[in-house]
């Protein structure tokens, strides 16, 4: 079993890096990549646990990037997590999260809702660098400004609402270059989730390939067979390798797929793990 996309408490997962590895091993996983959002801090403890469990741990990260105004997630695999340029890009991306929440809190203050920034940061105290709109929504709910979290977005935080701030994530080209510069493999994560036209999807993959991108996730989370076949054909068309991942976050509620368990890729695929560096 191979799983090349999952998350821990270092980003927005519910299990520690060690717990993620243990559960993956219990589920029969033999090769695992921990791909926390914009952060590689979980790789070292995950690798130590993987050695105990007898599974191979691949270095990974999921980077939030902006491509032609659309947020795209890019996974980096099998890279040197100590690479300075990569770490600089990740740090800048994380810092952007805090700046965005500060700007949104200022907009809320103009509407008479004070203390939002401190409130959101307190809720994100376990990992302040990963603060998000969800933490602002939790603050608004706790303070009685909304009846539920969804209303926080429909009234204040959603696109076009009074406190919304559009965010510029990492540059698409810079993200590819940072992954390649660290000796890694660049992968477009869960391509089936992006609201792109056929032309948009073709442009995305063409540009990604031209920049040196390597692969796309043919399987992600709980995607269906028809989706796997569709993206296997696209990978073949653009000369891209195929990756797979559960996108696991937590047990219960939204968790992606089963940690450590992904279906076999369609036979036309060239698996990305065939191109990993020697163990």
Span 10-19, average pLDDT:
89
- What six digits make up the tokens of 182? 């660290």
Lowest mean pLDDT among 74-83, 154-163, 174-183: 154-163
Average pLDDT across the chain, whole number: 93
Higher confidence at residue 195 or residue 181? 181
127, pLDDT greater than 90: no
5, pLDDT greater than 60: yes
Claim to verify: residue 190 and residue 66 sit in the same structural domain: yes
Span 90-113, average pLDDT:
93
Which CATH number belongs to the domain containing residue 102 in this structure? 1.10.150.650
Claim to verify: residue 75 and residue 188 sit in the same structural domain: yes
In the prediction, which pLDDT does 165 show?
Answer: 92
Contacts of 230 (CB under 8 A, 6+ apart): 192
Claim to verify: residue 188 and residue 74 sit in the same structural domain: yes
Indicate the pLDDT class of residue 254, thresholds 50, 70 and 90.
low
C-alpha 232/C-alpha 142 separation (Å) is 45
Residue 129: give the domain boundaries: 90-157
Residues composing the chain: 279
Split into its structural domains, the chain has a count of 2
Q: In 10 A of CB 165, how many CB atoms? A: 16
Residue 248 domain flag: yes
- Measured in whole angstroms, the distance separating CA 77 from the mean position of its chain's CA atoms is 12
Claim to verify: residue 194 and residue 250 sit in the same structural domain: yes
Claim to verify: residue 63 and residue 138 sit in the same structural domain: no
Residue 251 domain flag: yes
């Amino acid at each position: 079993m191979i799983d090349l996309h999952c998350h821990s408490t270092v980003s927005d997962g519910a299990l520690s890096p060690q717990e993620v590895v243990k559960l993956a091993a219990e589920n029969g996983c033999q090769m695992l990549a921990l791909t926390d959002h914009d952060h590689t801090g979980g790789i070292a403890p995950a690798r130590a646990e993987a050695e105990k469990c007898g599974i191979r741990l691949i270095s990974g990260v999921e980077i939030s990037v902006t491509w032609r105004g659309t947020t795209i997630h890019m996974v980096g695999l099998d890279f040197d997590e100590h690479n300075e340029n990569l770490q600089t890009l990740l740090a800048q991306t994380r810092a952007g999260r805090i700046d965005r929440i500060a700007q949104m809190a200022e907009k809320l203050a103009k509407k008479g809702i004070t203390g939002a920034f401190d409130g959101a940061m307190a809720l994100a105290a376990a990992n302040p660098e990963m603060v998000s709109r969800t933490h602002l929504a939790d603050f608004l709910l706790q303070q009685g400004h909304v009846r539920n979290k969804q209303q926080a977005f429909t009234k204040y935080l959603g696109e076009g609402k009074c406190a919304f701030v559009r965010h510029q994530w990492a540059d698409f080209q810079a993200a590819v270059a940072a992954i390649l510069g660290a000796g890694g493999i660049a992968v477009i994560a869960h391509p089936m989730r992006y609201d792109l036209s056929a032309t948009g999807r073709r442009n995305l993959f063409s540009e990604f390939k031209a920049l040196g991108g390597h692969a796309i996730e043919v399987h992600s989370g709980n995607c269906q067979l028809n989706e796997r076949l569709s993206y296997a054909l696209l990978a073949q068309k653009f000369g891209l390798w195929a990756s797979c991942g559960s996108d696991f976050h937590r047990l219960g509620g939204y968790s992606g797929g089963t940690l450590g368990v992904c279906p076999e890729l369609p036979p036309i695929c060239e698996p990305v793990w065939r191109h990993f560096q020697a163990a």
